[in-house]
Structure 1
């Protein structure tokens, strides 16, 4: 079990598999490319990718000419990133303490990270510390209360979505991006929302996870969770599954 995250090696490997699948979803590459554009990447631009996971964004940033460093608190995650991309710079560090010098990077990127933080204000204070004056910050993530799922039982679906959200440290961080950035002193804040629509079986593990989370919290019964999962599997098999997942993209400039 890692010291900072509480993940076992098995759970981290499972998370890596989920992240790899997410990276391959329709629109995922385009969303990452948008984040690089919002960072205003030019050859030589230095960027910290916070919560870098297995490192794909770090590699893509490097391909654009950036001097990118990936940081993640999970030792196993960093080990996998180093194995996959041995020429890139990966370091073990968390969002509250990046281990980088003051005013040392031009860009800060955090993708699907802030919903895992109980103190987003603290992370943004650290972002301000490491960014140069006028540096760019980009945050990407989903709001855990805004999963739109078609179901024969909308009331149960609503209960499942909200119960799973309540298991997340910052489930509504994405809707707070603008105000969090403004309150942290960033300027020129912009917000975009890009909604992915999924109708096939690729998102069944995510839907199953929502129901399992709601069941583990005691909010729904085992029978309710199983029935809901069975319905979603049947929908996927009949080409009737529907999930809409809004992704929030915020960008801002560090005070100069």
Structure 2
């Protein structure tokens, strides 16, 4: 997982989107920012070069340990988006990337973001739309079924397309959204497609035979440098 995250972080589209989020946050030497769902800590470390205070937060202990070891100067904490370990109005910027789809109630996380942000503070949300993932495959119908099954296994697979409504409902102003398309083409990313197929077979959404046919197709594409997955990404920004 960490290796795939590292590869994804170095993709040109990922770098462009990541740095775009920093612009949207209007980071400067006075900024106090929290990165919710920091993963390995790369974004938090990059923001810390500009911000006066950077807090990296993640619910997964392995990610907390990885971020702490890679960026020992960072303030890395374990915690969840719905219950932030911060006082009211204590930060001026809030960033969360690839988190809200894993929450049963994204609205609670938005309410927490509103609570900890000072008036005039900025929030930026980034996430993929799991219903819209596109996998180049020999059997398009099977590919759609597998993607749908994976989306159905996630608590809030369509949270990203709801960002604008979530932020408006949460009391934020100046809400703006923008879409990007990430292209996953590195051969190691085939493990994502394999995982999708295995999950779909385990729930009965596709048969074991269909899953194996899909996996063989994807493995062959990866071996021939023909693997390709399109990942729709939403970026939303707003002001407290």
Q: Normalized against structure 2, the TM-score is what?
A: 0.95
Q: 1:96 to 1:199 in 2, by over 3 A?
A: closer
Ranges in structure 2 where 5+ consecutive residues have no aligned partner: none
* Aligned equivalents of 2:157, 2:41: Cα separation in 1: 24
| Match status 1:47 vs 2:47 | no
SS, match of residue 240 in structure 1: coil
Following superposition, the deviation at residue 226 of structure 1 comes to 1.1
Q: Which residue of 1 aligns with 2:214?
A: 228
- Greater Cα offset, 73-82 or 108-117: 73-82
Following superposition, the deviation at residue 185 of structure 1 comes to 0.9
4+ residue runs over 4 A deviation: none
Q: Which residue of 2 aligns with 1:171?
A: 157
Following superposition, the deviation at residue 167 of structure 1 comes to 0.8
Q: Is the 8 A contact 1:38 1:138 kept in 2?
A: yes
Q: Which residue of 2 aligns with 1:68?
A: 54
Q: Is the 8 A contact 2:4 2:189 kept in 1?
A: no
| Match status 1:126 vs 2:112 | yes
* Aligned equivalents of 2:154, 2:171: Cα separation in 1: 26
Following superposition, the deviation at residue 237 of structure 1 comes to 2.9
* Aligned equivalents of 2:146, 2:15: Cα separation in 1: 29
SS, match of residue 145 in structure 1: helix
SS, match of residue 212 in structure 2: helix
Q: Which residue of 1 aligns with 2:84?
A: 98
* Aligned equivalents of 2:168, 2:102: Cα separation in 1: 20
SS, match of residue 48 in structure 1: strand
Following superposition, the deviation at residue 203 of structure 1 comes to 2.3
| Match status 1:58 vs 2:44 | yes
1:79-105 deviation per Cα after TM superposition (whole angstroms, max 9, x unaligned) = 221111111101111101111010000
1:198-243 deviation per Cα after TM superposition (whole angstroms, max 9, x unaligned) = 4442421111121122122221122111110111122233343332
SS, match of residue 113 in structure 2: helix
Please, what is the CA RMSD of the aligned residues? 1.4
Q: Which residue of 2 aligns with 1:110?
A: 96
Q: Aligned ranges for residues 74-93 of structure 1 at < 5 Å?
A: 74-93=60-79
* Aligned equivalents of 1:239, 1:52: Cα separation in 2: 31
Pairing partner for 2:130 from 139, 144, 158: 144
- Greater Cα offset, 152-161 or 62-71: 62-71
SS, match of residue 27 in structure 1: helix
Q: Is the 8 A contact 1:41 1:66 kept in 2?
A: no
Q: Normalized against structure 1, the TM-score is what?
A: 0.89
Q: Which residue of 1 aligns with 2:198?
A: 212
- Greater Cα offset, 241-250 or 172-181: 241-250
* Aligned equivalents of 1:122, 1:93: Cα separation in 2: 14
Q: Is the 8 A contact 1:82 1:88 kept in 2?
A: yes
1:92-138 deviation per Cα after TM superposition (whole angstroms, max 9, x unaligned) = 11101111010000000000000000010111110000000111000
* Aligned equivalents of 1:84, 1:238: Cα separation in 2: 34
